[in-house]
Amino acid sequence: MEDQSQIALKCIDFKKRKTSLNGSLGGNITFTTSISTPVATLKTIIWTFHTNNIVTYTDGTTFPATGYKDRIFLNTTTGSLLLRNLGQNDQGTYRVNIIKDYETLIEIAQLNVFGDSVILSCSSSGSSPFSYHWLNGRILTITNVTRYDKGPYKCFVSNPVSNNISSEPLNLIISCESLTCISIFF
């Protein structure tokens, strides 16, 4: 005869998974779960953002939180969540708790939202014609700015009289929390 505590341990399985996702400002993102085959027996699904509830599914009924009702779609057979119209405030940590039969899944996803752009332009005075270059011409555009775009940038100008005169460095500072781009000359 088996010990009752051994029987209980055999019936409950616990799994945890972490992922990282990148989304575009104004776009959509789907948070998938490790449930690859749809299951008809998901008892409870709870999605949260930081500590705030996004949506709860229990006893066959879905309860979206205020502010998410028109922005989400919950797949009740896999636990996946579609979040529409991403904004900067959607960046952060998402968590789902799924209970199915005797198994509990906890999955965490870190969402990064990109979309800001920076345009750096270069001009000069003197004898024309001028030749400009950053990396690709007179204007340098960086779209979907990330923290890896930070650093000094220089514009190089030349004409028939002078060659490769550079500007003072333009330092691009990226604040990863709000993805705000600030340009500072020094």
Assess whether pLDDT exceeds 70 at residue 167. Answer: no
Q: Greatest CA span in the chain, whole angstroms?
A: 98
Nearest to 123 by CA among 81, 165, 163: 165
Res. 134 pLDDT band, cuts 50 70 90: low
> pLDDT at residue 138 above 60?
no
CA dihedral 52, 58, 64, 70 (to 10 degrees): 140
Q: How does the average pLDDT of the chain come out, rounded?
A: 75
CB count within 10 Å of CB 45 equals 24
pLDDT category at 90 given cuts 50, 70, 90 is very high
Cα 102 to Cα 11: distance, rounded to the nearest angstrom: 6
pLDDT for res 10: 37
d(CA 143, CA 129): 29
Contact 55, 74 (CB under 8 A): yes
| Nearest Cα to Cα of residue 92 among 17, 20, 181 | 20
User: Per-residue pLDDT tens for 112-125?
Assistant: 887 766 667 777 77
CA distances from 47 to 12, 13, 82, 91 (A): 21, 20, 11, 15
Residue 17 tokens read as 């998974």
Q: What is the pLDDT of residues 39-55, one digit of tens each?
A: 777 889 999 999 999 99
Residue 82's pLDDT is: 96
